Amino acid sequence: MMYIYNVTVHIEKQAEEQWLEWIRVHIPQVLATQKFQKATLSRVLAHEEGGVTYAIQYQARSREDLNAYYEDHAPELRKEGEAMFGTAMVGFRTELQILEEF
């Protein structure tokens, strides 16, 4: 079964362009761990005061790959974004299990 690791990020408007530049480098770094097959970057279509929300979805082949990412790579890869954007960036993570595709 496939798994989606979804990262939803709200970024303040004044930091958005810098964040977009950074995330376009960060996503390939996550993919380089070889724990995910592909990733998508999407903008959440909602009017929000003071910022914009994005969703990054990484597709993992197995639960083992996802767990290995959390244990071996996630802490280090998260540090840079937290250091660069601080409170201008708020994120949360969810996991989805793909049951069927039509």
Q: What is the per-residue pLDDT across 18-27, written as a single tens digit (0 to 9) for each?
A: 999 999 999 9
Cβ contacts of residue 65 below 8 Å, gap of 6+? Answer: 3, 35, 36
Confidence of residue 49 (pLDDT cuts 50, 70, 90): confident
The C-alpha atoms of residue 84 and residue 81 are separated, in whole angstroms, by: 5
Number of structural domains (the chain) is 1
The CATH number covering residue 57 comes to 3.30.70.100
User: Which residue segment(s) compose the domain that 57 sits in?
Assistant: 3-97
Helix axes 63-72, 74-85, angle to 10 degrees: 60
Could you tell me if residue 102 is inside a domain? no
Could you tell me if residue 46 is inside a domain? yes
Least confident of 7-11, 22-26, 46-50, 51-55: 46-50
Could you tell me if residue 82 is inside a domain? yes
Could you tell me if residue 30 is inside a domain? yes
